[in-house]
């Protein structure tokens, strides 16, 4: 019975709510979400209103550089520096764009990026861009030591309006999924449109995967009658590092450490995570 239900969920997972992702695997029933009727603190409403007003003012007063004339923003995703002048993201985020931009995570400035390596089969791409004065992300190679807890995703999830500053969200994964001989692994946690291409970090701030897709809750429910939510998929480091080596692109190994809480991980990730814009 269990295998039949899992197969049904797997077959139902056919579309994604990220920018062009395809979903891949069976889900699991998550914990119930907080009630939508719960009152939001006044400070939260004020902060959201201020962020919205700031974003609108920025958009209305912003002038496009000459190299973006005649282009419009088609979609946004996330990416991160793996070298001072190279950014890793999903192929489905940056592989089919007339122009790709890399956001600077502070003033909303967009600088051009150039696709220098891409593989649609593994959904990875590397952009060259203006050199940044930031420490690039580091990659964990000892995945067998990961517990699957204390993980976060960092990126630019949409909340009706695109965000201008990276956000963090807790996620978890089964250790068996992390070390499996598969190109992608499943994780539990909230994933939104715009998270594609962002890193999954362990509690030391090292990359253990790249977000690539989310299970389509609506499609699963229509096919099975089951509500399965907050299930994402990530490309594992084995696949990522093989892709980088094949394209002769260097990367930095993780340093010893750990035990950082999400707010400290976000502060660290602000140095290397960026918003990727696809213009057509």
Please give the positions annotated as active site: 92, 123, 196
Judge residue 73's burial from the number of C-beta atoms within 10 Å of its C-beta, 0-12 exposed, 13-18 middle, 19 or more buried: middle
Helix (H) and strand (E) counts in the chain: 7, 14
Alpha-helical (H) ranges within the chain are 2-12, 42-61, 91-94, 175-179, 217-224, 237-246, 262-269
User: Under DSSP, is residue 130 helix (H, G, I), strand (E, B) or coil?
Assistant: coil
> Given phi > 0 = left and psi -120 to 50 = alpha, else beta, which region is 150?
left
Question: Which residue has tokens 């918003």?
Answer: 275
């Amino acid at each position: 019975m269990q295998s039949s239900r899992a197969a049904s969920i797997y077959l139902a997972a056919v579309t994604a709510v990220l920018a062009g992702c395809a979903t891949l695997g069976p889900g699991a029933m998550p914990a119930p979400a907080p009630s939508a009727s719960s009152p939001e603190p006044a400070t939260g409403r004020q902060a959201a209103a201020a962020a919205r007003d700031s974003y609108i003012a920025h958009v209305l007063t912003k002038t496009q550089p000459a190299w973006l004339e005649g282009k419009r923003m088609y979609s946004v995703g996330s990416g991160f520096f793996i070298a001072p002048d190279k950014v890793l993201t999903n192929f489905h985020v940056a592989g089919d764009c007339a122009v790709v931009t890399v956001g600077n995570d502070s003033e909303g400035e967009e600088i051009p990026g150039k696709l220098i390596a891409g593989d649609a089969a593994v959904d990875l791409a590397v952009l060259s861009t203006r050199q940044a004065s930031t420490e690039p992300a580091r990659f964990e190679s000892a995945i067998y030591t990961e517990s699957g807890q204390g993980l976060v995703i960092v990126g630019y999830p949409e909340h009706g309006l695109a965000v201008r500053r990276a956000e963090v969200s807790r996620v978890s994964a089964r250790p068996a999924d992390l070390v499996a001989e598969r190109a992608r692994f499943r994780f539990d946690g909230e994933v939104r449109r715009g998270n594609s291409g962002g890193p999954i970090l362990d509690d030391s701030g090292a990359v253990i995967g790249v977000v690539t897709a989310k299970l389509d809750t609506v499609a699963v429910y229509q096919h099975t009658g089951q509500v399965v939510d907050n299930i994402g998929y990530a490309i594992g480091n084995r696949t990522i590092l093989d892709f980088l080596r094949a394209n002769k692109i260097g990367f930095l190994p993780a340093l010893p450490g750990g035990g950082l809480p999400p707010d400290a991980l976000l502060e660290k990730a602000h140095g290397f995570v960026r918003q990727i814009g696809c213009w057509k």
